[in-house]
Amino acid sequence: MTDWKTILAGADDEYLAGLSNKGTVKRAHKDRETTPCEILDTGDQGINVKLGEEELLIAPVLAESRCSCPSRSICRHIVQAILVLKDMYEAGEGGIKEEKKEKSEALPSEELWQAVLEIGNQKIIRALGMKKLGEVLGQIRAGKRADIARSSTVLVELPDSELQVKFLLPLEYSSCTCKKKEFCAHRAAAALWCRMEAGTLRLEEFEKEEEEPKADLNRIREKAGEMKAALEDILASGLSRTSSQSADTLERLAVISHNEGLASFEDAFRSLQNGYEVYFSRSSSVNAAGLMDESARLYEQICRLSRVKTDGELRNLGGVFHMDYEPAGDMELIGITAEAFQSRNGYQGE
Ligand SMILES: [Zn+2]
Ligand SMILES: [Zn+2]
């Protein structure tokens, strides 16, 4: 037996607007005054309805209802038929509206809320991808919150975004203002925000996904050995006898650093390479002591890298490439003074 009373009780205007849109629901209300509606029969598939010239099947999963008109989506006929059926079932057999109407309307919303909260972790992670997952976790850690309105639908306004996600039952019929039909990244983010609201979000379940793959420390130590040997060669020949090939060697070491994800080493090698190039061009701005100081400091870092034992240690030494920015809360800046700078790597600004 299909519990039509409960199904239809959840189909208020808000829900129907979720299936179609506000205009269609308005139109359907208006059409009730003019278009006759006849209930033909009720079967396993649903309720057959004749509405004006159209023939409809209202399915127990309302969103799967069909109409004979050319529309491929939930048309105004379907919405009108649902409105008529809803009034009928609410009126009960004797045509008397039953008590506790509000209570039966509150039920589907709770069911929907539970369904949203139970959207699986893997589904959320797959739809978001690592990059967007990191962004949402960053927003959560920065104390942002989504606006969530619960009724027969769950409406989620994503923070720092114009997009809105509307969940409804069954969840496959939920919509997003990005217009995608499938479970998009926004729906996934909205599901996380709902868990946050309900207090059921366990950040650590997602944070472990966020972690970078474990580095191969043996390989890093081996590469550090290569760097160390190459830099020793350069240092052993002394600055005045260093060949111009040194700059090429340093360039090669910068590339190795990049490929191993060692951001700060790449930066240091490029800076040193630049220093050597300036030195070979016999520019007057060369500061030989500064160059040696820089080389010695880099050498010391490489020695530490060649003994690295943990991932955390490696992260501290190697740094990270900042491809993306994560929100980190709001900050107020007060300008005091400005100074122009130009780094040896060519960065300049104020
Ligand atoms: Zn239709
Ligand atoms: Zn979307």
Minimum-distance ligand to the CA of 79?
1
Minimum-distance ligand to the CA of 161?
2
What's the average model confidence in pLDDT over 125-153? 88
| pLDDT exceeds cutoff 90 at 222 | yes
- Distance from residue 30's CA to the centre of ligand 1 (Å): 15
- Distance from residue 173's CA to the centre of ligand 1 (Å): 18
348's CB contacts (< 8 A; 6+ apart) are 340, 341, 342
Q: In terms of C-beta distances under 8 Å and separation of at least 24 residues, what long-range contacts does 76-79 make, across chains too? A: 76/20, 76/24, 76/27, 76/28, 76/31, 77/28, 77/51, 77/52, 78/20, 79/16, 79/19, 79/20, 79/24, 79/25, 79/27, 79/28
What single string gives the DSSP state of each residue in 336-349? -----EE-TTS-EE
SS3 category, 150: strand
275's CB contacts (< 8 A; 6+ apart) are 286, 290, 291, 294, 344
What's the average model confidence in pLDDT over 282-298? 83
Minimum-distance ligand to the CA of 178?
2
| pLDDT exceeds cutoff 50 at 98 | no
- Inter-CA distances, 228 with 258, 302, 315, Å: 16, 6, 19
Minimum-distance ligand to the CA of 189?
2
What single string gives the DSSP state of each residue in 99-119? S-HHHHHHHHHHHHHHHHHTS
Q: What are phi and psi of 309, to 5 degrees?
A: -115, -25
- Distance from residue 39's CA to the centre of ligand 1 (Å): 15
Distance CA 83, CA 102 (A): 17
Distance CA 161, CA 239 (A): 55
User: Where does residue 78 fall: left (phi above 0), alpha (psi -120 to 50 degrees), or beta otherwise?
Assistant: alpha
For the ranges 132-136, 194-198, 216-220, the one whose mean pLDDT is highest: 194-198
| pLDDT exceeds cutoff 90 at 268 | yes
Q: What is the pLDDT of residues 168-184, one digit of tens each?
A: 888 888 888 888 888 99
| pLDDT over 90, % of the chain | 41
Which pLDDT score, from 0 to 100, does residue 216 have? Answer: 84
Distance CA 233, CA 19 (A): 71
- Distance from residue 23's CA to the centre of ligand 1 (Å): 14
What's the average model confidence in pLDDT over 220-240? 89
Minimum-distance ligand to the CA of 186?
2
Residue found by looking up tokens 């340093």 in the block:
250
- Distance from residue 6's CA to the centre of ligand 1 (Å): 24
Q: What is the pLDDT of residues 59-81, one digit of tens each?
A: 988 988 999 999 988 999 999 99
Amino acid identity, position 3: D
| pLDDT exceeds cutoff 50 at 26 | yes
Q: What is the mean pLDDT of the chain?
A: 86
Minimum-distance ligand to the CA of 166?
2
Which pLDDT score, from 0 to 100, does residue 108 have? Answer: 55
Minimum-distance ligand to the CA of 188?
2
What's the average model confidence in pLDDT over 281-302? 85
SS3 category, 233: helix
- Distance from residue 190's CA to the centre of ligand 2 (Å): 9
**Do 3 and 46 touch, CB atoms closer than 8 A?**
no
- Distance from residue 160's CA to the centre of ligand 2 (Å): 14
**Do 15 and 153 touch, CB atoms closer than 8 A?**
yes
Which pLDDT score, from 0 to 100, does residue 177 have? Answer: 87
Which tokens in the block code for residue 32? 């009730």
